[in-house]
A and B are shown apart, each in its own frame.
Chain A
Amino acid sequence: MAKPIDRRTFLRIASVSLGIGALHRVAPAWAASGASDDTSRRLKSRNGEAVTPFTFVQLSDMHVGFSGPPNPTGTRAFERAVEIVNALPKAPDLILFTGDLTHDSEDQNERTARMQRFLEISGRLKVKTRRLVPGEHDAGLDGGALFREHFGNSSYAFDHKGVHFVALDNVSRALPEVGPEQIAWLQKDLARFPPTAPIVVFTHRPLFDLKPEWEWFTRDGDQVMNVLAPFENVTVLYGHIHREDIQQSGHVRHCAARSLAWAFPDPAQVAEKKPLAFDPGRPFANLGLRTLKAAPGAHPRAATIAMDEVELTLREHSGTDGIAQLLRPSTL
């Protein structure tokens, strides 16, 4: 019978952040013993090991409280998205909200009412694990005070089944920026992870100069990307631009989600930043949500994150279509 690995050897191996898969290759006899289960748990806790498959959802820019020509239906698109998520064949593990949960108001009481309305609608989700970041409408005028009162911290991190999630706030400083303190925190937060650790950053504004003239950028986004540069598997989920957009930059995939309020056009096609016109025949056109699936990659500590964009549709009501469907009382 092969001799189990001794503690000194284990610590030397663990100190170079080898994953549990590599340890199994290095010390198969040890791996076959019961000691490997405890080690696996400890490594998972330290390094975000062992990606196991799970699904999650991104919802963005519902602008609760907004009503105007681009979206006269109020929160109906958001409510429809909740129905769709609740009806998914496999319930996602968690829901990420990437900001502009509410539409800004100068009336503080109205702002509070809108945040409470958001909580009421999102409370109908069967999935109870929800993580949020603010948009500028939620936090830009008061440094995020009301957001934190209702939703907690605007910047934080957590691990889920081998994937490290980071919530970045690039709106509470009023300017489109993350700020030096948060960047320093991010650097410290990521320090414990190997370069192959799968990382999902969720934030509101794009972390690169997508279209600065439309305020689709983050002033210190390049500094954030420098902190993320050593990592080989980074997905950035964001909102703000009210349209789906996916761009790859090195190891980083930047993925903007559709809004649940109104859509913006492609800035490469038009000069003016003007919402797409509301279509009564297709009241939820260009609005939607994103479902994501994380699964182990080819590498023991790698992950693949696949995405599906779900454009909102209306429930089928025979004899009615378009906006007429929305005039029926909600049965939620």
Chain B
Amino acid sequence: MGLTLHRSLAVAAALAVLAPLAAARPEEPAVVEITAKRFQFTPSEVTLERGKPVVLRLHSEDVTHGFYMKALGIDTVIPPGRNTDVAITPQQPGRYMVICDHFCGAGHGNMHMDIVVK
């Protein structure tokens, strides 16, 4: 019985130490999947929360596309065949147009999507 009490006290002590640490661990950022395919992004609009970290998981279904919006710190290319993750924490509310800036064909000039930050 002494040993059982000792073990119980040890577990309780461990929990007392670990519980606050668990509470302090930052929440994993939400992942938003975005697909690029000539000549559109899907979805065409995404809404994010100001100050909340998010990972934009980009995937191309055909050729290399660009993903560019200077004000949000987004500047990457999306090669086909793998995911490309872009981590952002938007700070300013507003509507931002993200463009494909990697020439992908005749319809490239109008390939864009909106990110709305609220």
Chains A and B bind each other: yes
Number of A-B contacts (CB under 8 A): 38
Q: Given A174-B64, A212-B70, A213-B99, is A103 in contact with B106 using a C-beta cutoff of 8 Å?
A: yes
Count of B interface residues, CB-CB < 8 Å: 17
Is B59 an interface residue when CB atoms closer than 8 A count as contact? Answer: no
Q: Which of B83-118 contact A (CB under 8 A)?
A: 97, 99, 101-106, 108-110, 112
Instruction: Name A's interface SS.
Output: loop
Q: Which of A146-185 contact B (CB under 8 A)?
A: 171, 174-176
B-side contacts of A137, CB under 8 Å:
106
Q: Are B106 and A215 in contact (CB under 8 A)?
A: no
Of all chain B residues, the one with the shortest Cβ separation from A63 is B106
Q: Are B97 and A136 in contact (CB under 8 A)?
A: no
**A173 nearest CB across to chain B (Å):** 9
Q: Are A104 and B99 in contact (CB under 8 A)?
A: no
Count of A interface residues, CB-CB < 8 Å: 18
Is A223 an interface residue when CB atoms closer than 8 A count as contact? Answer: no
Complex: how many Å from CA A219 to CA B103? 14
Is A273 an interface residue when CB atoms closer than 8 A count as contact? Answer: yes
Chain B residues near A (Cβ < 8 Å): 64, 66, 68, 70, 77, 97, 99, 101-106, 108-110, 112
By Cβ-Cβ distance, the 4 closest A-B pairs, closest first, are A140-B103, A213-B97, A136-B103, A104-B106
12 A-B pairs within 8 Å (CB atoms) are namely A105-B106, A141-B104, A174-B103, A175-B66, A175-B102, A175-B103, A176-B101, A212-B68, A213-B97, A214-B109, A215-B99, A273-B110
Q: Knowing that A103-B106, A136-B108 are A-B contacts, what are 7 other residue pairs whose CB atoms are under 8 Å apart, sorted by A's residue number?
A: A105-B106, A106-B106, A141-B104, A141-B105, A175-B101, A212-B70, A219-B101
Chain A residues near B (Cβ < 8 Å): 103-106, 136-137, 140-141, 171, 174-176, 212-215, 219, 273
